[in-house]
């Protein structure tokens, strides 16, 4: 078996592959580049891997030349560096002509929020290939420093860690295995009297077995569930401010989003708040949903306030109360629109709430606000889409605080008051346009302020309907979503009832919140609704927006933060009650409700902490571990059974041959079993077998058939095979007996 494997390694193809990329230094470089490029452009990782195989071979030969020439080598290496950096510069210049940001910002910015850039990606590949291959070679073959090799491995790992995303489980296993192989290889290169160098083939087999066992154990053994707070590490690394600058830079040109922004585990604090309640805070809206599962066309939140200032200045209660006042003033109006039972009702007061926030970032362009903003004091010098101005205030010469900003708003919880929701549930969306117009006319003389407010509401309603038509025309169209929306809202008349039914659907239908779930490429909201039923807030909010639109409700996807983490401190004489971190990034829908206006909803189901103990990443790691275990067990089974199967097949085959052919086959098998050279004769075989088969007619029959070229009538292939089996049984018994004696010594 060993000889067969060793012979296989001498096959021309295997020798070519071993020469091309069999050096562990090259393999480690290839795995590093594969991991790095999988982060930058996962769809073409295999292309970069193949290119790395050939480039690492060329570069290794070049580094061998540099290491072998004391003076010429460094000169050539310096020239190589200059040419390489110039080539990278040319690539980045070409990329800059076709991309809105510079290479440095692109390189340091999380790739999940950027569009792909071919020239920048080639530039980073060339830059990292030159650096990593040189570093791995130097600390592997010139100066043996495995700690440095470990630090080099942290370079691609840190690229994933800075975004809180996971490297592919199989890639992690292969990368660690290549590091271990490099460690063994470099150790073998050291010349020391305490180190005994084994035959290369047997060393490779030993390392392969050890790496396989190590990889299986590392993957299969359950990992402890640890919920780590990354804030201390991130702050210690000092990357927060840089990340803020980069994210702010790209926010000015990006007009799309997908679920990657919702997968952050970053513990960096973004805002501090003084607020009377937990809130969903918005920073941007996205209008059009595309087939690639992304939202496009950003709208900042001054979009609607420019047209409907009256709507923002007054509480949503005023809209519903004005409709009830019109019903009280005109009985025919009340009867026509089903408001007779509510005519004269005085709704509960809706107080204006005050939100104070202190940004913990510099120069942010994204202002967090609730859905229904009342106003922002002019003294704050802040507008909805303007920069949050930071004024550094030194206290005791050590701390720098940002200037607090104030936003007045009306809480969305008001719509869910029983007295309010009952009326909203009775408002027919088919009649709502006429209801607003007629109420506006009825109250023109008796309540001009309310009449003017109803006019603004009428304009907002028309704009919302136009918005819905435009979205439905340009959105990704799905018969599945349309059918589900009709099923969920069947028998429901009001916008409020329909939106609530869609919101509750995700909880009732057994959807699971899974922060570690990674959907397959090409999956979209159809797959989420019908197949996986797993995801984060992005999937839930996206699904609800599309379901609402299919049900005839204007809806929009909103991106911002979920302000739910309590905080107790005082800054600038302001008592803070909540904080928001990067990991609190949140997506949620806003739906236009007849009788109320735009209202935020929360379809995202709560995360089951117990279900999250075994994350998807650990699941896939363990899955690959079991795959490797299965392969290893299969190889072991074949390793143990194949010789017996081959022996069984050999015996059946020789028994059916001509005697001379059977004699030749049996002699070769006996000679190989005893590891005799091909030049050995039958008599030499008999001499080597005398310990367990000193006398056997088999030797005479083989000698006669092989050398005398005579066929005895009494000698048959069956008899030769039977004699061979007896010889093998005697050899096996002798080996067992010898081992027993050695064991008892």
Please provide the DSSP assignment of 538-577 as one string.
HHHHHHHHHHHHHTT--EEEEEEEEE-EEEEEEETTEEEE
Rounded-to-integer distance, Cα 364 and Cα 361, Å: 6
Distances (CA, A) of 71 to 411, 488, 632: 75, 78, 49
Q: Which residue has the tokens 């050590």?
A: 398
Give the per-residue pLDDT at 240.
46
Higher pLDDT, 705 or 492: 492
Give the per-residue pLDDT at 357.
87
Confidence of residue 478 (pLDDT cuts 50, 70, 90): confident
Give the per-residue pLDDT at 455.
93
Judged against a pLDDT cut of 60, whether residue 226 lies above it is answered with no
Please, what's the b/e burial string for 431-444 (b: 16 or more CB within 10 A of its CB; e: otherwise)? ebeebbebbbebbe
Rounded-to-integer distance, Cα 240 and Cα 562, Å: 20
Pairs from 663-672 (Cβ < 8 Å, separation ≥ 24): 663/701, 663/702, 663/705, 663/706, 663/720, 664/706, 666/702, 666/720, 666/721, 666/724, 667/702, 667/706, 669/724, 670/724, 670/727, 672/3
Rounded-to-integer distance, Cα 343 and Cα 348, Å: 15
C-beta of residue 400 within 8 angstroms of C-beta of residue 393: yes
Q: Which of 21-25, 477-481, 692-696 has the lowest mean pLDDT?
A: 21-25
* Max avg pLDDT among 199-203, 292-296, 467-471: 467-471
pLDDT in tens, 255-280: 677 776 666 656 677 888 999 999 99
Classify strands 534-535 and 399-401 as parallel, antiparallel or unpaired.
unpaired
DSSP letter at 347 equals P
Rounded mean pLDDT, 594-609: 87
Judged against a pLDDT cut of 60, whether residue 200 lies above it is answered with no
C-beta of residue 382 within 8 angstroms of C-beta of residue 405: yes
Higher pLDDT, 539 or 387: 539
Distances (CA, A) of 544 to 123, 477, 503, 536, 549: 41, 14, 7, 13, 8
Higher pLDDT, 451 or 142: 451
Give the per-residue pLDDT at 517.
76
Judged against a pLDDT cut of 90, whether residue 599 lies above it is answered with yes
0.95 cut: is pTM over it?
no
Rounded-to-integer distance, Cα 361 and Cα 555, Å: 31
Rounded mean pLDDT, 426-452: 93
pLDDT in tens, 619-641: 555 666 677 677 777 777 777 78
Confidence of residue 114 (pLDDT cuts 50, 70, 90): low
pLDDT in tens, 538-582: 999 999 999 999 999 999 999 889 988 888 888 777 889 999 887
C-beta of residue 415 within 8 angstroms of C-beta of residue 496: yes
Give the per-residue pLDDT at 368.
85
When the pLDDT of each residue in the chain is averaged and rounded to a whole number, the result is 78
Higher pLDDT, 375 or 350: 350
Give the per-residue pLDDT at 327.
94
C-beta of residue 715 within 8 angstroms of C-beta of residue 707: no
* Crossing angle for the helix pair 537-550 and 495-508, to the nearest 10 degrees: 140
Higher pLDDT, 291 or 607: 291
Judged against a pLDDT cut of 80, whether residue 201 lies above it is answered with no
pLDDT in tens, 325-337: 999 999 999 999 9
Give the per-residue pLDDT at 448.
92
Nearest to 258 by CA among 478, 473, 526, 525: 525
Rounded-to-integer distance, Cα 425 and Cα 292, Å: 35
Q: Which of 190-199, 502-511, 672-681 has the lowest mean pLDDT?
A: 190-199
C-beta of residue 280 within 8 angstroms of C-beta of residue 600: yes
Higher pLDDT, 256 or 208: 256
| 423 Cβ contact partners less than 8 Å away, ≥ 6 residues apart | 320, 324, 339, 342, 345, 595
Please, what's the b/e burial string for 480-518 (b: 16 or more CB within 10 A of its CB; e: otherwise)? ebbebbeebbeebebbbbbbbbbbebbeeeebebbbbbb
Give the per-residue pLDDT at 673.
87
pLDDT in tens, 715-731: 788 888 888 898 988 88
pLDDT in tens, 32-83: 888 888 877 777 778 888 888 889 888 988 988 888 888 888 899 899 889 9
Q: Which of 132-146, 249-263, 346-360, 694-708 has the lowest mean pLDDT?
A: 249-263
Q: Which residue has the tokens 């005799």?
A: 676
Give the per-residue pLDDT at 739.
83
Rounded mean pLDDT, 513-541: 86
Give the per-residue pLDDT at 660.
87
| Tokens read off for 44 | 């073409």
DSSP letter at 606 equals P
Confidence of residue 396 (pLDDT cuts 50, 70, 90): very low
C-beta of residue 590 within 8 angstroms of C-beta of residue 598: yes
| 200 Cβ contact partners less than 8 Å away, ≥ 6 residues apart | none
Q: Which of 67-81, 166-180, 252-266, 461-475 has the lowest mean pLDDT?
A: 252-266
| DSSP track, 3-72 | HHHHHHHTSHHHHHHHHHH-SHHHHHHHHHHHHHHHHH-GGGHHHHHHHHHHHHHHHHHHHHHHHH-TTH
Confidence of residue 252 (pLDDT cuts 50, 70, 90): very low
C-beta of residue 682 within 8 angstroms of C-beta of residue 667: yes
Q: Is 534 helix (H, G, I), strand (E, B) or coil?
A: strand
């Amino acid at each position: 078996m060993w000889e067969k494997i060793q012979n296989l390694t001498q096959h021309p193809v295997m020798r070519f592959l071993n020469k091309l990329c069999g050096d562990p230094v090259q393999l480690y470089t290839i795995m590093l580049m594969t991991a790095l490029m999988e982060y930058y452009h996962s769809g073409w990782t295999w292309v970069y891997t193949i290119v790395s195989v050939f480039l690492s071979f060329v570069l290794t030969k070049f580094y061998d030349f540099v290491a072998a020439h004391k003076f010429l080598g460094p000169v050539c290496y310096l020239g190589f560096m200059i040419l390489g950096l110039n080539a990278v510069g040319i690539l980045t210049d070409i990329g800059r002509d076709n991309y809105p940001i510079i290479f440095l910002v692109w390189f340091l910015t999380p790739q999940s929020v950027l569009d792909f850039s071919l020239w920048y990606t080639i530039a980073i590949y060339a830059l990292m290939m030159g650096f990593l291959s040189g570093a791995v070679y130097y600390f592997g073959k010139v100066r043996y420093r495995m700690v440095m090799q470990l630090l080099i491995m942290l370079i691609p790992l840190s690229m994933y860690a800075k975004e809180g995303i996971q490297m592919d489980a199989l890639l992690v296993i292969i990368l660690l295995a290549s590091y271990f192989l490099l460690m063994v290889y470099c150790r073998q290169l050291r010349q020391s009297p305490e180190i005994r160098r084994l035959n290369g083939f047997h060393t490779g087999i030993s390392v392969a077995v050890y790496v396989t066992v190590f990889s299986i154990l590392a993957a299969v053994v359950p990992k402890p569930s640890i919920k780590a707070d990354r804030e201390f590490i991130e702050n210690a690394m000092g990357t927060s401010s840089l990340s803020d600058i980069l994210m702010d830079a790209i926010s000015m040109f990006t007009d799309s989003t997908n679920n990657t922004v919702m997968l952050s585990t970053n513990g960096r604090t973004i805002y501090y708040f003084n607020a009377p309640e937990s809130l969903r805070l918005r920073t941007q809206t996205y209008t059009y949903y595309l087939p690639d599962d992304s939202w496009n066309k950003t709208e900042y939140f001054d979009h609607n306030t420019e047209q409907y200032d009256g709507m923002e200045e007054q509480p949503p209660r005023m809209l519903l109360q004005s409709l009830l006042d019109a019903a009280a003033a005109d009985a025919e109006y009340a009867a026509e629109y089903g408001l007779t039972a509510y005519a004269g009702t005085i709704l509960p007061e809706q107080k204006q709430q005050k939100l104070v926030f202190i940004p913990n970032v510099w120069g942010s362009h994204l202002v967090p606000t609730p859905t229904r903003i009342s106003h922002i004091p002019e003294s704050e010098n802040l507008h909805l889409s303007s920069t949050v101005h930071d004024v550094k205030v030194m206290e005791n010469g050590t701390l720098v605080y940002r200037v607090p900003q104030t936003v007045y708003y009306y809480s969305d919880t008001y719509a869910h008051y029983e007295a309010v929701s009952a009326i909203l549930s009775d408002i027919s969306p088919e009649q709502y346009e006429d209801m607003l117009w007629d109420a506006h006319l009825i109250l023109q003389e008796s309540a001009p302020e309310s009449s003017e407010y109803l006019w603004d509401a009428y304009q907002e309603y028309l704009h919302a309907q136009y918005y819905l038509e435009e979205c439905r025309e340009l959105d990704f169209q799905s018969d599945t979503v349309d059918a589900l929306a009709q099923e969920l809202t069947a028998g429901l008349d009001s916008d409020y009832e329909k939106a609530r039914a869609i919101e509750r659907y995700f909880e009732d239908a057994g959807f699971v919140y899974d922060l570690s779930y990674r959907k397959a490429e090409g999956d979209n909201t159809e797959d989420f609704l019908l197949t996986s039923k797993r995801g984060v807030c992005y999937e839930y909010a996206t699904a609800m927006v599309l379901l609402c639109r299919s049900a005839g409700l204007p809806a929009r996807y909103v991106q911002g933060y979920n302000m739910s983490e309590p905080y107790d401190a005082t800054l600038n004489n302001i008592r803070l009650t909540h904080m928001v971190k990067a990991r609190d990034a949140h997506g949620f829908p806003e739906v236009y409700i007849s009788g109320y206006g735009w209202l935020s909803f929360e379809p995202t189901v709560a995360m089951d902490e117990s279900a999250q103990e075994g994350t998807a990443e650990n699941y896939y790691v363990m899955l690959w571990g079991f795959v490797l275990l299965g392969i290893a067990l299969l190889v072991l089974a074949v390793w143990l059974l194949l010789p017996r199967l081959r022996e069984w097949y050999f015996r059946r085959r020789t028994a059916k041959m001509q005697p001379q052919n059977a004699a030749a086959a049996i002699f070769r098998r006996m000679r190989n079993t005893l590891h005799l050279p091909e030049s050995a004769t039958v008599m030499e075989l008999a001499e080597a077998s005398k310990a367990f088969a000193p006398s056997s007619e088999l030797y005479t029959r083989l000698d006669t058939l092989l050398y005398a070229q005579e066929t005895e009538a009494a000698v048959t292939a069956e008899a030769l095979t039977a004699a061979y089996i007896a010889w093998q049984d005697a050899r096996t018994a002798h080996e067992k007996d010898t081992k027993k004696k050695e064991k008892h010594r």
